[in-house]
Amino acid sequence: MVSIEVFCFNAFAENTFLIINDSSCIIVDPGCYEPEEYTTLKKYISDHDLTPQSIINTHCHIDHILGVDKLKDYYSIPFYFGKNDLQVLKSGKLIAPAYGFNQFREPEYDGFLSEGEVVKLGNSNLKVIDVPGHSPGHIALYEEDSKVCVAGDVLFKHSIGRTDLPGGDFDTLINSIRNKLFVLPGDVIVYPGHGPETSISEEKRNNPFCGDNAQI
């Protein structure tokens, strides 16, 4: 079983996650940028005697990768994401200054994750699900026994990810949600990249963009 700890960082109110199993953890979508944000995350890890195993990004938009480089160096851990987001990662150094993130450094990456792969965390298995649409290489992480899914910017509480950024596509996003996420059990808790958690059943019933009563 895993537990999820959520931290809200940077000007975009981005959710950074620790997926925790016993004394091990995976850092997901580290959006920390300001010194106090790094301190908050590292203090939690230290106070709870956790050992980070890796950094995994659901996608590589700038608000989700701000902390990757420093944390990768600090903990000497690898960094993984979906291969089709490589160009999104590469664009970060061009986009960052426009938002005032002048200290951003593009991180080195160690490999890619794709549909069906399993990431081991202690005695738990995190299944990788390809969910493009918000970005071309977007992935989600699903832990069946714990009934949790870290879904990034694909599905929000009563909303969906934007598709007007480079590589985004509305039809692809809706297809990802309906055919990859909505097939999960209804009581699975969804942890989005912004805002509060929700559940698969809640979004199937009430999401105005992709739910049962959506007009799209």
Distance between CA atoms of 82 and 137, rounded to whole angstroms? 5
Q: Where are the domains of the chain?
A: 3-206
pLDDT tens per residue, the chain (216 residues)?
A: 999 999 999 999 999 999 999 999 999 999 999 999 999 999 999 999 999 999 999 999 999 999 999 999 999 999 999 999 999 999 999 999 999 999 999 999 999 999 999 999 999 999 999 999 999 999 999 999 999 999 999 999 999 999 999 999 999 999 999 999 999 999 999 999 999 999 999 999 999 999 998 976
Q: Burial code of 204-213, b = ≥16 C-beta within 10 A, e = fewer?
A: beebebbbee
Residue 215, pLDDT score: 76
Nearest to 101 by CA among 66, 65, 57, 69: 66
SS3 breakdown of the chain: % helix, strand, coil, rounded to 5? 30, 30, 40
Report strand pairing: 189-192 vs 198-199. antiparallel
| Cα 90 to Cα 25: distance, rounded to the nearest angstrom | 26
**CATH class assigned to 3-206:** alpha beta
Specify the pTM.
0.98
Residue in 58, 114, 115, 119 with CA at minimum distance from that of residue 89: 58
The CB-based long-range contact list for 33-37 (8 Å cut-off, 24+ gap) reads 33/9, 33/66, 33/67, 33/101, 33/103, 33/104, 34/9, 34/10, 37/7, 37/9, 37/10, 37/67
